[in-house]
Structure 1
Amino acid sequence: MNFSTKERYLLEDQKNHEKICIQKYSNYANLASDQQLKNIFKQNGQIEQEHYNTIDQLLKGQMPAMNQQGGGQSGSSQSGSQQSGSMQQSQPQMQSMIFQNTNQSGSQGNSNFNTNDRDLCTDMLMTEKYVSGAYNTAIFEFRDTQVRNILNHIQKEEQQHGEAIFKYMESKGMYQAQ
């Protein structure tokens, strides 16, 4: 794959963003007091690792194989591919379960929450907004349609991460959408 200098810089930026997301999600999963939030952070962190691996493959000149069922990227190794495929297939189910549990455990307007958990969520929501916006810019800068599609898929998953955090926050009374 022959990337322009600008395309390579954009991929390096996204790889660094993914690395920071992985670190934050890992650290925040350990810091969160609510088990439900820990699970959201752990799940999002695993998917961020898949994003990191995909960007790394692109930078190494390899075109990541797209998962036929989930539309997700597979890892660079066979076992990574199988793991990624199963992660992609289960992600919508897991997010649905997270949202369902959130709606059952939290009531609208509930303000009985841990402020540390709120701060962790707020930071991750801002991070996801930033990273998603950076992918949006990168998508428009790539010549190769296949690479654009890969980046677009990753961006959609970043938006899903933000949605999971938003719904958790809303259910706990941490975020009031007006």
Structure 2
Amino acid sequence: MNFSNKERTLLEDQKNHEQICILKYSNYADLATDPQLKNIFKQLGQTEQEHYNTIDQLLKGQMPQMQQSSGGQSSGGQQGSQQGSSQQGSSQSGSQQSSNQNQMQSMQSQSSFIPQNQSSGYNASDKDLCTDLLMTEKYVSGAYDTAIFEFKDQQVRNILNHIQKEEQQHGETIYKYMTSKGMYQAQ
């Protein structure tokens, strides 16, 4: 696979972004106080590792096969992989939402055992971790958006689009966790 200098640079940038995401999710899983948040961070970190591996394959001239993300299933289905058709994606999102709601209810019953911010009912350091990762996901998703437009090969564009959708799902997972805990007020 022959990439232009610009395409190769964009892939290298995305690979670096993925590496930072992997490190953040791993470190933040260790720092989080809420066991459910630890699990979310671990699962999202696994998906980031898959993204890193995909970009690495592209840079080595290999065309990766897009598979269902293993991270989506065990974190409550919050970030299942996008299939080729939008119908499949729509049917997945319904089951994802149902699973997500069940996990949130379970998590709320456990939250009374977690050290919390007295005025708001959540751990302030967990909020800081979530805020940083939400900002990171916004940035990385935007970087993928720019990169997608720069690639001439449709297959590569589809792969990058698939990864971007998963990055958006990561942001949504963090956002939903934050709103459920009162850490984020959508206005």
> Smaller-chain TM-score range?
0.7 to 0.9
Superposition deviation, residue 49 in structure 1: 0.2
Runs of 4 or more, structure 1, over 6 Å off, are none
Residue number among 125, 135, 140 corresponding to 2:134 in the alignment: 125
Number of matched pairs: 159
Is residue 171 of structure 1 aligned with residue 180 of structure 2? Answer: yes
CA contact (8 A) 2:43 2:71 kept: no
Seen in structure 2, the aligned counterparts of structure 1 residues 65 and 105 have a Cα distance that, compared at 3 Å, is closer
Q: Please give the alpha-carbon distance, in whole angstroms, between the structure 1 residues aligned to 2:11 and 2:25.
A: 21
Q: Name the amino acid aligned to 1:130.
A: Y
Match among 88, 95, 104 for residue 102 of structure 1: 104
User: In the aligned structure 2, how far is the partner of 1:123 from the partner of 1:98?
Assistant: 22
**Which of 121, 146, 153 is the matching residue for 1:112?**
121
Distance 1:150 1:91 in 2: 23
TM-score (norm 2): 0.79
Q: CA RMSD in A?
A: 2.0
TM-score (norm 1): 0.83
2-structure distance, mates of 1:106, 1:92: 16
Partner of 2:11: 11
Report the Cα distance in structure 2 between the residues aligned to 1:131 and 1:93, rounded to whole angstroms. 23
Structure 1: runs of 5+ lacking an equivalent: 71-83
Q: Give the equivalent residue in structure 2 for 1:21.
A: 21
Q: Is the 8 A contact 1:99 1:167 kept in 2?
A: no
Q: In 2 relative to 1, CA 119–89 (structure 1 residues): closer, same or farther, beyond 3 Å?
A: closer
Partner of 1:47: 47
Contact kept, 8 Å, 1:14 with 1:55, in 2: the verdict is: yes
Cα distance in 2 for residues equivalent to 1:38 and 1:165: 12
Q: 8 Å contact 2:25–2:42 — kept in the other structure? A: yes
> What is the aligned-residue identity percentage?
72
